[in-house]
Structure 1
Amino acid sequence: MNLVRAELFKIRTTSLWWIMGLILVPLYAASVLLNWATASAGAPAADSGTPDTQQAQIEAALKPINVATNLYTSGQFMGVLIVLLLCAIIVTSEFFHLTATTTFLVTPRREAVILAKFGAAVIVGLAVWAVTTLLNLVFVPLILSSLDFGSQLGEPAVWRAIALNGLAFVLWAVLGVGAGVLIRSQIAATLTLAILYTVGTSAVGLIFFLLTENVARWFENLQVLIPTTASQLMISGTELPGNPPRWVGALVLIGYALVAGTLGTLITKKRDIT
C-alpha cells in the first residue's frame, strides 16, 4: 500500500491531473447533450430506406431502458481516454522527470513497483468513473423526466450498466499503464494513444463496415474487437439486435487488460533502466 500511495502522490504533485480534469468537464457535458439529443430524435420511419437490421438496432436503442443506461453512463468515451492518458503518464513521467532509476533503486523488486502503478491506475480509473457517475445520477433523472421515461433507477439493468461502466474504466486504466511501459516517452505516449483512440477507432470501424458491406455480414460482429466498441457493448441495457452479448465486450476488454498488464510487468522486469 505504501508503494501505491507513493504513486498517487506522484500524480497529485503534478498539474497534469487537474488539467485533464478541466478537459474532461466540457467533454462530459457534450456527451450528455449528445446522448440527450439522440434520445429525443427518435427512430427513422420504417420506409426511410434504413436497412432492417439497423432499423431494429435503432428502435431497440431508443427503448426507455436502453436510453437510460446510455445516459447514466454518459462520459465513458472521453472519460476512459482521460484515464488511459493519465495512467500511461504514471509510467512515462518516471522517465520524463528522470526518477525511474531512483524508483527502482529504492524498490529493487520491479514487479512490486509496476503492480503499485497498476494499483494507482485502478484508483484513478475508479475516481473518474465515480465523478462522472455522480454527475449522471444528478442530471440524468431530469433528462429522462423531460422524455417522459421516468428515472429508471428501479431497473436492475441501469445499475448493472453503471457497475460494468466502472469495470470498463478500471480495464482502460490497466491498458494505460501497459501502454506507458511500451512507449516510455511521455509526449509520444500521449500523442500516440490519443490518435489511436480517436482516429484509429474510426478508421478500424470504417474497415469493418466496408468488410461487412462488401465481403461478409459476419464481419459486423468482429467490431467488438475494437476496445471502444467492447466498452460500449458492456453498458447496453438489453441485448441489441445484431450485436454480440454484453459479456463478449467485457471478455474482450479483460483480454486486452491482461495482455497489457502481463507485458508491462515482464518488460519492466527485463528492460534496462538508465
Structure 2
Amino acid sequence: MRLIRSEFLKIRTTNVWWLFVLGTLGLWAISFFFNVLQAHFVLNPEGVPDDQAATFSAMAKPAALTAYLATSGQYFGLMFVMLLGILTVTNEFHHQTATTTFLATPHRTSVIIAKTVAAAIFGFLLWLLTTILSVVGTVIFLNIENAEAAFGDSAVIRSILLNLIAFALWGLIGVGFGVLIRSQIGATVTALILYLVGTIAVSIIVQLLYVWLEQEWIKQLQWVMPSIASSLLVSGVDLPDQPHYWVGGLVLLAWAAVTGVIGTLITRNRDIS
C-alpha cells in the first residue's frame, strides 16, 4: 500500500493527470456527438443497403443502442489510461529516479504491481467520469428521439461494467509498454501510432484481404487488435458478423497478461543504470 500511495503521489504532483482528464473530456464530447449522429441514423434509417439491414436492425434494439451510447468515452479514454501507464514507468528513467526507486524497494515486481494498480485506479476514475456523462447524455438524447432507454437491461449493465474492466486492463498494457520501451518519447509515440493508426490500418487491411480472397474468417482477424477488441467487449448484444462479446475480453486479457508478464521479467533482470 505504501508503494501504491507513492505512485499516486507521483501522479498527483505533476500536471499529467489533469491534462489527461481535460483531454478525455474534450475527446469524449466529440465521440459522443458522432455516436449520437449515428444513433439518430439507426433510429431513422433511410436508404440502408440490404447487406447492412440486419446490422441496423440489431443496433436499433434498446439494449444495443443504450450500451453503445453509454460507453461512448471508451476509445479515447482507454488511450489516456494507456499513456498514463506508460508514463508511470518511463518517467522514472526520464528523470533518473529509477535507481532511487529500486534501491528503496529492491523487489522490482512489487514496484511494477504498484504502478499497475495506480494506473488501473486512474482508469477507474476516467471510466466513472465518462460513464456518468455518457449516461446523462444518453437519457437526454433518447428522450428527444422518443426512444426507450434500457439501463435496467442486464446486457447494458454488463457492457458498462465490462467497460470498467477494459479501462483497468489498459492501464496494465500501458505499464507493459513503458517497461518494454523505456524511452519516454519512444514508448509514447509507438503506443499512439499503434493505437490510432494501427487500428485504422488493420481494419483497412482486413477489409482489402476479405474483398480479395472472399474468406469469411479473414474478417475476424481485426478483433485481435486490443483497441478493436475493447469495442467488441462492450457491444451489449451480439451483432451480425461479429464474435461474441466475451471474445473481446479474452483478447484484452491476453494482451494485458503478455505485456505485464514480459514487462515484469525484463524489469527484474535489466540493468537500470
For Structure 1 versus Structure 2, the TM-score category normalised by the shorter chain is over 0.9
1:135 Cα deviation after fit? 1.4
Letter in 1 for 2:140: L
Structure-1 separation of matches of 2:26 and 2:242: 30
Contact residue 201 and residue 226 of structure 1 kept, 8 A: yes
Matched, 1:181 2:179: yes
Structure-2 separation of matches of 1:80 and 1:9: 22
1:24-45 Cα offsets, whole Å, 9 max, x none, are 1110101111111001113453
Structure-1 separation of matches of 2:203 and 2:137: 31
Letter in 2 for 1:200: G
1:190-213 Cα offsets, whole Å, 9 max, x none, are 111111111111011111111111
Structure-2 separation of matches of 1:20 and 1:125: 11
* Structure 2 residue corresponding to 1:93, chosen from 75, 82, 91: 91
Q: How does 1:215-254 map to 2 (within 5 A)?
A: 215=213, 216-254=215-253
Q: Please name the residue that 1:26 is paired with.
A: 26
Q: How does 1:69-84 map to 2 (within 5 A)?
A: 69-84=67-82
Structure-1 separation of matches of 2:270 and 2:38: 48
Matched, 1:35 2:57: no
Q: Please name the residue that 2:47 is paired with.
A: 45
Contact residue 178 and residue 263 of structure 1 kept, 8 A: yes
Letter in 2 for 1:45: G
1:172-206 Cα offsets, whole Å, 9 max, x none, are 11100000001111122111111111111101111
Structure-2 separation of matches of 1:108 and 1:124: 25
Alignment size in residue pairs = 270
* Structure 1 residue corresponding to 2:195, chosen from 197, 205, 226: 197
Structure-2 separation of matches of 1:226 and 1:183: 19
Structure-1 separation of matches of 2:56 and 2:203: 18
Matched, 1:262 2:261: yes
1:236-268 Cα offsets, whole Å, 9 max, x none, are 121111110011110011100000110111010
**TM-score, normalized by length of structure 2?**
0.95
Structure-1 separation of matches of 2:100 and 2:63: 52
1:146 Cα deviation after fit? 1.3
Q: Please name the residue that 2:8 is paired with.
A: 8
* Structure 1 residue corresponding to 2:112, chosen from 101, 111, 114: 114
Letter in 2 for 1:71: L
Contact residue 63 and residue 149 of structure 2 kept, 8 A: no
Structure-1 separation of matches of 2:239 and 2:178: 35
Q: Please name the residue that 1:209 is paired with.
A: 207
Letter in 1 for 2:247: V
Structure-2 separation of matches of 1:51 and 1:260: 42
Q: Please name the residue that 2:61 is paired with.
A: 63
Q: After TM superposition, what 4+ stretches of structure 1 lie above 3 angstroms from structure 2? A: none
Contact residue 87 and residue 124 of structure 1 kept, 8 A: no
Letter in 1 for 2:268: K
**TM-score, normalized by length of structure 1?**
0.95
Pick closer, same or farther for the CA change 1:243–1:110 going to 2, 3 Å: same
Contact residue 139 and residue 149 of structure 2 kept, 8 A: yes
Cα RMSD of the aligned pairs, angstroms, is 1.3
Bigger mean CA offset, 136-145 vs 167-176: 136-145
